A and B are shown apart, each in its own frame.
Chain A
């Protein structure tokens, strides 16, 4: 018998917390638990992590290479990619090709992709979806510390006395850290939590103070804080003196923000709240500002980061226990991507194109045949360049820019115009794979081996516990094969361990403590050491090292090793609201979905949390714009529109809307919020302003609403509103339309595959004049589909109907209730009608006979009226009495 390893230690593929996961495989059965020994989570897992087992099936997986929709061999596909890239380079130069990669890639995948582009193709046109997520944070750290160095550890979150959550719905987006914070706060009730967020999110549940800031005004608030610290003599002058430069200029810029009343007004806050926050920050030595996309995704994202770092430098709260400016990443390996240089404005191992010595060093190390010399195109620029015809060939790996980029509707045309679009992905049907010329099947979580780095610089192993399905291959293998077919040397690795050793060696190559990122202690580890790697925080310049905190003794990575203040001149978001687009659209995540739902969308458990995309709107705005709870609304910007469900909540501030980022064309028609988002970016980081787009909202003029639950996946006409969610053994579709449908039965029958219908029986109910229609399809006694249509949103609950898909057979109670949408009262089935005059069923009669010891038809008649009119059923009553009466 083949021995099954008890469990494999790996990490979660979702957010930047990087939780340890124990995966146990027993046949087809996968069990996922938190790894108690992993220092990120100590055994805890959030809802997404806990549901990982529901996402690993092969449904919808891309399992074959294909060209123009036809399956081909790997040989043909790789040759076509290699020759396509080579010819493009030959004809138009290296800058005519680009890679758009992902924080979902493992470090080794990332490393070879970056090496190929920057060292051998000779362009820096490799950018990553991390651009959309934390590139402003990178700029912030680099400007202040001279390197992309996150100085803190998760344990600091537990040891701090003041935690300022800024632009972070930690509760939903980094749930395990939030759990750790809650636990810490329970242990030390004096610990204070301030949440700065335009929305009242779930993270506010533990907030001692919530500052519902006007979107885009963080720099005003933090400049005001710097000024306040100065005025109230709460600066750490010794630290400023000893470790920093540029304080005077920064304070000078901030000095325009000394009137708290003006600040409060600008930021849309109460004066007392602002004062309270400033006081707490001034008084509390151990303070962390924990920030995420709410800060980064802004046209002044880099400045926001530095306005935060400024106040930490000014108080000396960097590199100390429980203190620091702490950026948290969205993706599991965003940090790993930063480390290998996966952003177009990085080179490799935290080295930069701007530094000639760095360029030379990396080129020598790589034996680069064609080293790039300057920054490449950042995500939005990269796709602009495709549109402009400058980039002719693009290779997209493990990401879905059709959904995630701003102004996303232009993407389809833009990719169509591109000569060569290669997409490697684990899923067959995404909005982006639909635009590919060449599709390459990649392995995914559970199949891949490699390293990831979480938000506290902790490097952990992701380990495989399943074999590669179909023709799928690892991303590093695909990239290396293409590189070799393009004639490049230095891509002949036999394992991810070999790649990682090279990556580690590059990080320590001629480093001598000059660069923050140093994995010298990992450069010579053996394959078995790599396999057995225990999570540790970089720098790891020597074996066995782990570094929880940076800059304890200053020693920043600027030229003079001093931290740099950055003078901040607050600027409003680039596109202001106006009469036509009077509202501010904010976007973000929901608790139980991940990115574009290609994996979490498979999980019934996760899909049940929030079934559809939605727009959150304040009750007063809802009133003003004529929106109804549960109705649909059209949110429109100058760039595009979405149609989403209305959710009225005063957690949202007036004038602001929130729409989640997750829903793609695969899950909904017209719910890709990327289509609405303005394509403006931070000038330094290139990060798009996802948190601020001027929009208008109006009710979607639905003529009808409906839902369909179906065992089989269905395709609905794109002209309707339709949103899909996974249920247990069924798909759920919420529907609406602004055009009348003639003949609902024909309509639903046209949606269901003929073969399914031929095997089954339809039942339906129609009240034509009120526009109510309900239908069911039963195949082999099992429920295959239900469809409910109504003129308004008041449709029956889906919950009972949903349960029926698990039933091996619909019994008569279920069938009777099916189109009512619920079981008969108390679930009691009266049984076959015996007395048709009074509608009395067999079960009712039997119960009465038993319970009341009835022994004559007359007695039954007195009790139930049965048999007292035409008397036709009296013989049947007699039989029932004979069979069921207790009387002797």
Chain B
């Protein structure tokens, strides 16, 4: 099966976007490449989104491994797990890893992902200050929870809240520090953010809102997080979950044009025609995505080009957010901020933990926030993308597809005497 004519594909990074691209590629052209994968972590591929259930004791690492070593072996893929590529030699079409491994390529796929953003504050390197990105971080948190009590999570976004929930499940007292008034303000409106906060507070998580971290203090180990307004929180563990930064150091060093991420065109090709990039490390039409759906879209297109079919284009992904934060289902899409010229449709069933907001502009659905009941999120998302008039559906729109699209949905009977 080892054809001498096979080209060499090297993938840098062994994450969700990259492996999805390989899957797509193998489906299109199973024998086209000899494939080598470098992965910094000593595992096969796992579903990073599922780290939180692991931290929350709901799953084990094994549960979230999506592609174990056998998977690579069965497909003839050489997986170099635990090795980090430190240099790309574009001239000689080879990569060099931290252990000195050198692998040549005909095509290179950058799938290096991102790294957590570490706040540039004094004390950010103290013992007990970590980020939340990989299995190693999860293990650190779980160990810390056995010995310490107080955790501070910096960042009230999805990742931070999941970390907070996980740490609470590990038995720690958790305070979430967030810079704005409401949690997850990019994905949720103020009402949904408030509901989420109340819910999490009921679960025992504390919040320091509108808190700007100024300094992390401690002697041997972190002891206190101090804010600009003078407030302080005691901490044995600080988890930074304040955003991600695309991993572009190697690409930059290789001279590939980068901004936030490695610049790619609609075929996911970088400025070097032999090098492609997908996932969080790539920047397409100005956007470096951090969610799973666009990464998968990218993988499909990229695979098409690696297989030399050359007929697919990636034109970007309209974002919708479908999340499950510690058991609460959330969805948002489009422009849900409302404002002038927009109509808001609001549904609240607070005791059942349900809140929905749809934003309509010029008879078109332009945004949606769903809290608790997200069943119709995908349908709203379709309506937002298709940008057609929803005037005829409006009366029942908030109740979802099964109501609004019934044949007799708008045929209401006025019951006169």
Of A19-27, A317-325, A505-513, A836-844, the one contacting chain B is: A836-844
CB pair A630 B415 closer than 8 Å = yes
Q: Knowing A765-B398, A797-B412, A816-B399 touch, does A611 contact B417 (C-beta < 8 A)?
A: yes
A197 CB–B CB distance under 8 Å: no
Of B140-148, B240-248, B342-350, the one contacting chain A is: B342-350
B residues near A794, Cβ cutoff 8 Å: 412, 414
Binding site for A on B (CB under 8 A): 47, 49-50, 59, 63-64, 66, 292-293, 296, 322-324, 329, 331, 343-352, 354, 373-379, 394-396, 398-399, 402-403, 406, 412-417
The answer for the CA separation of A659 and B36 in the assembled complex, in Å, is: 88
Q: Knowing A767-B345, A839-B378 touch, does A870 contact B292 (C-beta < 8 A)?
A: yes
Q: Knowing A761-B351, A837-B293 touch, does A614 contact B403 (C-beta < 8 A)?
A: no
Sort A-B residue pairs by CB-CB distance and give the 8 closest, nearest first: A761-B351, A763-B349, A614-B417, A630-B416, A630-B414, A820-B399, A769-B343, A793-B414
A798 and chain B: residue at smallest CB distance: B415
CB pair A765 B346 closer than 8 Å = yes
Q: List 28 A-B contacts (CB under 8 A).
A: A613-B417, A614-B416, A645-B416, A761-B352, A762-B348, A764-B347, A764-B348, A767-B345, A767-B346, A767-B394, A769-B344, A770-B343, A778-B351, A793-B414, A796-B413, A797-B415, A815-B349, A816-B399, A819-B347, A820-B396, A822-B403, A825-B406, A833-B373, A833-B375, A837-B293, A870-B322, A871-B49, A872-B49
B residues near A795, Cβ cutoff 8 Å: 412, 414
A residues near B377, Cβ cutoff 8 Å: 836, 839
CB pair B374 A833 closer than 8 Å = yes
Which residue of B66, B376, B413 is within 8 Å of A839 (Cβ)? B376
A590 and chain B: residue at smallest CB distance: B417
Given contacts A763-B354, A794-B412, 5 further A-B contacts (CB under 8 A): A611-B417, A761-B351, A765-B399, A820-B396, A830-B375
A875 CB–B CB distance under 8 Å: yes
Query: How many A-B Cβ pairs are below 8 Å?
Result: 130
CB pair A872 B399 closer than 8 Å = no
Q: How far is the CB of B260 from chain A (nearest CB, A)?
A: 23
A817 CB–B CB distance under 8 Å: yes
Binding site for B on A (CB under 8 A): 610-614, 629-630, 645-647, 761-770, 772, 778, 793-798, 815-817, 819-820, 822, 824-825, 828, 830, 833, 836-839, 841, 869-872, 875
B residues near A841, Cβ cutoff 8 Å: 375
Chain B's interface: helix, strand, loop or mixed, by majority?
mixed
Q: How far is the CB of B326 from chain A (nearest CB, A)?
A: 14
The answer for the CA separation of A466 and B341 in the assembled complex, in Å, is: 66
CB pair B403 A837 closer than 8 Å = no
Q: How far is the CB of A583 from chain B (nearest CB, A)?
A: 19
CB pair B47 A766 closer than 8 Å = no
Q: How far is the CB of A468 from chain B (nearest CB, A)?
A: 37
B296 and chain A: residue at smallest CB distance: A869
Q: How far is the CB of B184 from chain A (nearest CB, A)?
A: 15
CB pair B345 A869 closer than 8 Å = no
The answer for the CA separation of A841 and B378 in the assembled complex, in Å, is: 13
Q: How far is the CB of B52 from chain A (nearest CB, A)?
A: 10
Q: How far is the CB of A330 from chain B (nearest CB, A)?
A: 21
B411 and chain A: residue at smallest CB distance: A794
Q: How far is the CB of A699 from chain B (nearest CB, A)?
A: 14
Which residue of B292, B350, B374, B403 is within 8 Å of A824 (Cβ)? B403
B residues near A819, Cβ cutoff 8 Å: 347, 399
The answer for the CA separation of A612 and B348 in the assembled complex, in Å, is: 31
A residues near B398, Cβ cutoff 8 Å: 765, 767
Q: How far is the CB of A845 from chain B (nearest CB, A)?
A: 13
A residues near B399, Cβ cutoff 8 Å: 765, 816-817, 819-820
A838 and chain B: residue at smallest CB distance: B378
The answer for the CA separation of A762 and B374 in the assembled complex, in Å, is: 20
The answer for the CA separation of A798 and B412 in the assembled complex, in Å, is: 10
B residues near A824, Cβ cutoff 8 Å: 402-403
The answer for the CA separation of A795 and B410 in the assembled complex, in Å, is: 10
Q: How far is the CB of B45 from chain A (nearest CB, A)?
A: 11
B residues near A793, Cβ cutoff 8 Å: 414, 416
Which residue of A646, A764, A798, A838 is within 8 Å of B416 (Cβ)? A646
B residues near A815, Cβ cutoff 8 Å: 349, 352
B398 and chain A: residue at smallest CB distance: A765
CB pair A766 B414 closer than 8 Å = no
CB pair A647 B49 closer than 8 Å = no
Q: How far is the CB of B344 from chain A (nearest CB, A)?
A: 7
Q: How far is the CB of B208 from chain A (nearest CB, A)?
A: 29
CB pair A768 B403 closer than 8 Å = no
A871 and chain B: residue at smallest CB distance: B47
B residues near A778, Cβ cutoff 8 Å: 351
A772 and chain B: residue at smallest CB distance: B395
B residues near A816, Cβ cutoff 8 Å: 373, 399
Q: Knowing A833-B329, A872-B49 touch, does A825 contact B402 (C-beta < 8 A)?
A: yes
Q: How far is the CB of B189 from chain A (nearest CB, A)?
A: 15
CB pair B416 A817 closer than 8 Å = no
A632 and chain B: residue at smallest CB distance: B416
The answer for the CA separation of A869 and B347 in the assembled complex, in Å, is: 28
The answer for the CA separation of A5 and B394 in the assembled complex, in Å, is: 61
B residues near A837, Cβ cutoff 8 Å: 293, 322, 378
CB pair A817 B403 closer than 8 Å = yes
Q: How far is the CB of A820 from chain B (nearest CB, A)?
A: 4
B residues near A610, Cβ cutoff 8 Å: 417
CB pair A836 B348 closer than 8 Å = no
A residues near B412, Cβ cutoff 8 Å: 794-797
B residues near A796, Cβ cutoff 8 Å: 412-413
CB pair B417 A647 closer than 8 Å = yes
Q: Knowing A825-B402, A869-B296 touch, does A836 contact B329 (C-beta < 8 A)?
A: yes
Which residue of A612, A825, A869, A875 is within 8 Å of B292 (Cβ)? A869
A residues near B344, Cβ cutoff 8 Å: 767-769
The answer for the CA separation of A769 and B329 in the assembled complex, in Å, is: 28
CB pair A825 B403 closer than 8 Å = yes
A761, A816, A870: most-surrounded residue (chain B CB, <10 A): A870
B329, B376, B396, B399: most-surrounded residue (chain A CB, <10 A): B399
CB pair B406 A763 closer than 8 Å = no
The answer for the CA separation of A170 and B64 in the assembled complex, in Å, is: 78
CB pair B416 A836 closer than 8 Å = no
CB pair A768 B47 closer than 8 Å = no
The answer for the CA separation of A441 and B16 in the assembled complex, in Å, is: 81
The answer for the CA separation of A820 and B400 in the assembled complex, in Å, is: 10
A residues near B322, Cβ cutoff 8 Å: 836-837, 870
B residues near A798, Cβ cutoff 8 Å: 415
B residues near A765, Cβ cutoff 8 Å: 345-348, 398-399
A residues near B351, Cβ cutoff 8 Å: 761, 763, 778
The answer for the CA separation of A613 and B417 in the assembled complex, in Å, is: 7
CB pair B415 A875 closer than 8 Å = no
A610, A612, A872: most-surrounded residue (chain B CB, <10 A): A872
The answer for the CA separation of A869 and B63 in the assembled complex, in Å, is: 17
A745 and chain B: residue at smallest CB distance: B348
Q: How far is the CB of A773 from chain B (nearest CB, A)?
A: 10
The answer for the CA separation of A838 and B322 in the assembled complex, in Å, is: 9
A764 and chain B: residue at smallest CB distance: B348
A763 and chain B: residue at smallest CB distance: B349
CB pair B350 A763 closer than 8 Å = yes
B residues near A629, Cβ cutoff 8 Å: 414, 416
Which residue of B292, B345, B346, B350 is within 8 Å of A761 (Cβ)? B350
The answer for the CA separation of A765 and B415 in the assembled complex, in Å, is: 22
